[in-house]
Structure 1
């Protein structure tokens, strides 16, 4: 729903600067997001610590990324909350698509691997919070997507059967969770899919804009 790549980039680079590490590239962030903030931090640290300009000064040792993880995670949370939504934009068609679903009386929930506090603040900042009866983050359940548990629990909260609950996502991560939970899944074509073509993912349909949710007959809704 929201292009948050700018938020990730700024928060990560402020975190890395505090650790005296080189800034992350936007391309790396795009390939790495989607599996939760913990995974993002670990992946970025491992990548940045392996850069030639870092290893040339002998700053890398075995387990260095793990040593830096806790201070990096704490700093990242602070920086992200400070700038949450300031460098992000709602994708075109999102408001229209959500409004169309609400007009049809469809119950909606937001399920993300982003920490719940981040998600709630972002939805409010972008005026999207009023569309969802439930919001769940990556820390709301014992496991994250692509594990099916968060999606199964979301269906329970909505009072719907998985087979009758459409999962709308933007990556293979979302599709795997939906398949494992027994939900039909549609993927938007404009999000982040770890650098891979999203149309190659096993899904029931693809949306170029959420406004296409006004007519979901092509995937049985």
Structure 2
């Protein structure tokens, strides 16, 4: 692990357990359209690739006509905006982990595939926004994770080199983006990762809690 200048942190499944929000908003949307509902496990296996992918996958899962997408999108957006953060919770150890990173003088950014209009108020509501210099959603750049472009652009905004900017995430999207961007990677084990065990993905460390990062970094740096 090289000396770090910055840390770039994912949101859903890394900082905050937002499955409850997704389940409620999607089911209200489906109910509006007269469609059957979905369960928490389906969302856990599907979330992470952006809201459009989630909604299209949901419509396909319940056997809906793809032509309903535009109507479903409007309803989903309205429902999610109304309940954003009400059925979510910050994971144990997250605030302590972010506080430690901040205390080390690292510049912090949150980089998520969630739309920026949802990500910013959610972090505010959960008391985490103050840790981050930048908050970028999946609509902030031309492409989203697992493409490396958002990581490169975030590094530029933070004034950090990719090789000295730690990516912290919970899924293969984060892993692929970090590898392609040249960023060191830490993965948390409690997130979603499309129903797969994240420990199967190569990373500098796999953490059960974000506040374990200080100890692991000291170990890795020989401190």
Partners of 2:221 and 2:182 lie apart in 1 by 14
Are residue 48 (structure 1) and residue 49 (structure 2) matched? no
Q: 2:110 is matched with which residue?
A: 110
Aligned length: 207
1:45-99 per-residue CA deviation (whole Å, 9 max, x = no partner) reads: 00111xxxxxxxxxx6xxx21x111111111111001000000000000011111
CA contact (8 A) 1:204 1:219 kept: no
SS in 2 for 1:194: helix
1:205 aligned residue: 205
SS at match of 1:191: coil
- Is the Cα contact below 8 Å between 1:205 and 1:219 reproduced in 2? no
- Counterpart contact for 1:109–1:154, Cα < 8 Å: yes
Counterpart-to-counterpart distance in 1, 2:73 and 2:154: 27
Q: Which residue of 1 aligns with 2:139?
A: 139
Equivalent position of 2:218 in the other structure: 217
Q: Structure 2 length normalisation: TM-score?
A: 0.90
Cα 1:14/1:220, change in 2 over 3 Å: farther
1: CA distance between counterparts of 2:146 and 2:218?
26
User: For the aligned residues, what is the CA RMSD?
Assistant: 1.2
1:170 matches 2:164: no
1:15 to 26, 29, 39: 29
1:36–1:138: 8 Å Cα contact kept in structure 2?
A: yes
Bigger Rg over Cα: 1
- Gap runs ≥5 in structure 1: 50-59
Moved over 3 A (4+): 217-221
Deviations 1:143-201 (A, max 9, x none): 01000000110111110000000000000110000000000100000001100011001
Matched position secondary structure for 2:107: coil
C-alpha distance in 2 between matches for 1:34 and 1:161: 25
1:219 CA drift (Å)? 5.0
Higher relative contact order (CA 8 A, sep 6+): 2
